[in-house]
Structure 1
Amino acid sequence: MIKVLICLLLHQAEKVSAAWSVTFENQDYCVVKGSSVELKCSYNYPDDESVRETAWYKGMLQDGIWERVKLSVLPTYKNRFAYRGDHVHNCSLVLQDLQEDDTGYYYFWFDTNRFGRNSKRSVYLSVTELKASIRPRRVSAGDNVTLECGTSCQSPRIIWFRDGHIVTEPEFRAKIQDAGNYSCAIEELKSMQSDPVALDVWYSPLNVSVEVNRSSPLLTGSSVTLTCRSAANPAADAYTWWYSSSFSNSSSELQVGSGQVLSIASVELAHSGTYICQAENRVGQSRSAEVLLTVEETVGIIIIILLVLPVVVVWAWKCLPHSDAGKEDLIDSIAFTCSITPPLCS
């Protein structure tokens, strides 16, 4: 009789045990510091029972003893957790503003009108602070670059951003356009990115050009300024000017100056020719295209004007109606021309 009673009690206990359960959708969560997470959970119990109370606990080591401590009594969780479940079957929990100390094991408990039950299993939550790093931080174009994202999570799927744009490969050969600020994130939490880390890509001068400030035409005795422009990182810190004469059949170049600006205060015919600027930084150097300067003699320009002016005056005298005042103006113009170069009028 006693054996039969024991068997009946054991059978009843097995039925009760089989009728209740706690199921976690995911038993391992990895999240970023400062973010939020929802621990999704469901539970079941016999139909003849009703739920009176629910609670979540965290596993903690206290005085060398592993205990389950109710979240509601832990000061560090005040206003940072919310039970999103109900007293039917949903037992989900939301944790907010997660900190690294929140890492650990979490358990669900519920009490019915007959029994109080703890979940047999737990949810493990890992809270990590992402730390982006670049090896090396400063490179020259063409060098190898490796992006690394430090995290305590076990093999999370990491994605990278450069200035807000997704980077497809964490290892690459640096190009000029690769310079920028890099940050990493766990793929499921793209909005929670690490602090950015800068990649500085050095390159030799590019697009070297010469800007010319001069009068037109460039006459002897006038001034001219040539300014060298380039794109470089670091900025070009050395400039060399080269000159090839228009009056020589030789293609040899002469160094005629240094510095970003080449100024000639009073040009002469001998300054006619091609000029080239060479810009240089610690990475390399590059040259501009040739710039041609043509210097014209001032006297030659005046002679041309004086030869043309009388022809215009005679044409105006013959072809246009003039008053006496107009004729006097033409005579004055011719007289002014002769006063400039008397030999031409003698």
Structure 2
Amino acid sequence: MIKVLIFLLLQQAEKVRATWSVTFENPDHCALKGTSVEFKCSYSYPEDESVRETAWFKGMLEDDTWKREDDTGHYYFWFDTNKYGRRSKKSVHLSVTELKASIRPIRVRAGDRVTLECTTTCQNHRTIWFRDGRRVMELEFHAQTEHAGNYSCTIEGLNSLQSDPVALDVLYSPLNVSIEVSGSGPLLVGSSVTLTCRSAANPAADTFTWWYRRDVSNSSLQLQEGSGQVLSISSVELTHTGAYICQAGNPMGQSRSAQVLLTVEDTGGTAGGVKAFTFLDVFFIYLD
């Protein structure tokens, strides 16, 4: 419920004017739900009377009782003198509004244009936006992965009173595809190894393809090794030595990882292990 603060300008008219009057400083108010609003008025009365009580009423007078359901509506001023009681013929009207945040569209592909709109029935108010609690400066932008989140708007200066959040969903193909290798140290003949394909995607990657290349120096020689997010080799052999690549895909597209080199060590102690590197000039990680 909105908090209504009532202020009276106790400026009596010149007592030579034996008239009744009530003047409102601003007869039309619009306020955001949860904030406060001030009503101000001045009034006059005959010089031979004195004011004993003042009050504000809202709603309709029914059976000598003022009925009100919410804060929106007309407010009347009343004052009682030692002779009469008077109620203003005119009123102050208060409109209570809430903020509504909207995003068009709410689900987009990366690169699509997005528009933010904050609506309220109150006029001449500057609205501001937040995404996951952080200020947003642009109301139109081309969506990228970092734009996904919950958006809300508010009136400038009233940051504690925000609209209900609206989620922006940004769809994109797999990014940062990588291979996670179980275990560490030498990879011995007869041991097991598990390769897991990781990626960031929306929606989550749902198709995976594994590629194997024994001759690391020849990028054209590739064999499809399997499918599924996890590639498990229960008993490795020397022939499993080579470069492994995973490809992750979703309805938005697909991407491949950098290759990971598995080197299998035989019982004679030939050096072995796991190396991850790429020929695409991205990064080099050695895990020997």
TM-score (normalised: structure 1):
0.63
The CA RMSD over aligned residues, in Å, is: 3.3
2:23 — aligned with what? Answer: 22
1:51 — aligned with what? Answer: 51
1:272 — aligned with what? Answer: 241
Q: How big is the shift at 1:22?
A: 3.1
Q: How big is the shift at 1:15?
A: 4.6
Query: Taking structure 1 as reference, are residues 18 and 247 closer, same or farther at Cα in structure 2, changes over 3 Å only?
Result: closer
Q: How big is the shift at 1:284?
A: 1.8
Report the residue type matching 1:242 in the other structure: W
Report if aligned partners of 2:59, 2:66 keep a CA contact under 8 Å in 1.
no
In 2, the alpha carbon distance for the partners of 1:265 and 1:105 equals: 79
Report the residue type matching 1:28 in the other structure: D
In 2, the alpha carbon distance for the partners of 1:109 and 1:134 equals: 46
1:144 — aligned with what? Answer: 113
Query: Taking structure 1 as reference, are residues 132 and 249 closer, same or farther at Cα in structure 2, changes over 3 Å only?
Result: closer
Q: How big is the shift at 1:280?
A: 1.0
Q: How big is the shift at 1:50?
A: 3.0
Question: Is 2:239 the counterpart of 1:261?
Answer: no
Query: Taking structure 1 as reference, are residues 113 and 261 closer, same or farther at Cα in structure 2, changes over 3 Å only?
Result: same
2:269 — aligned with what? Answer: 301
Which has the larger share of helix?
A: 1
2:10 — aligned with what? Answer: none
Q: How does 1:113-152 map to 2 (within 5 A)?
A: 113=82, 118-119=87-88, 122-152=91-121
2:173 — aligned with what? Answer: 204
SS at match of 2:108: strand
> 2:196 aligned to 227, 234, 245, which one?
227
CA radius of gyration, larger in: 1
Query: Taking structure 1 as reference, are residues 260 and 175 closer, same or farther at Cα in structure 2, changes over 3 Å only?
Result: same
In 1, the alpha carbon distance for the partners of 2:110 and 2:89 equals: 57
Report if aligned partners of 1:227, 1:261 keep a CA contact under 8 Å in 2.
yes
Deviations 1:239-279 (A, max 9, x none): 11112213775642221111111112222222221111111
After TM superposition, which residue ranges in structure 1, 4 or more long, deviate above 6 angstroms? 17-20
SS at match of 1:195: coil
> 1:183 aligned to 152, 170, 174, which one?
152
Report the residue type matching 1:241 in the other structure: W
Q: How big is the shift at 1:155?
A: 5.0
Report the residue type matching 2:66 in the other structure: L
Report if aligned partners of 1:52, 1:111 keep a CA contact under 8 Å in 2.
yes
2:283 — aligned with what? Answer: none
SS at match of 2:55: strand
* Identical residues among aligned pairs (%): 63
Deviations 1:185-238 (A, max 9, x none): 333543332222222122221221111124632233322211111111111101
SS at match of 1:30: strand
Q: How big is the shift at 1:21?
A: 5.5
SS at match of 1:16: coil
Q: How big is the shift at 1:140?
A: 1.8
> 2:137 aligned to 141, 149, 168, which one?
168
Report the residue type matching 2:174 in the other structure: P
Q: How does 1:231-242 map to 2 (within 5 A)?
A: 231-242=200-211
2:65 — aligned with what? Answer: 73
In 2, the alpha carbon distance for the partners of 1:28 and 1:20 equals: 18
1:290 — aligned with what? Answer: 259
SS at match of 2:111: coil
Which has the larger share of strand?
A: 2
Query: Taking structure 1 as reference, are residues 180 and 14 closer, same or farther at Cα in structure 2, changes over 3 Å only?
Result: same
What 5-or-longer segments of structure 2 have no aligned partner? 1-12, 271-288
Q: How big is the shift at 1:148?
A: 2.6
In 2, the alpha carbon distance for the partners of 1:238 and 1:188 equals: 48
What 5-or-longer segments of structure 1 have no aligned partner? 1-11, 61-68, 78-98, 303-346
Q: How big is the shift at 1:149?
A: 3.0
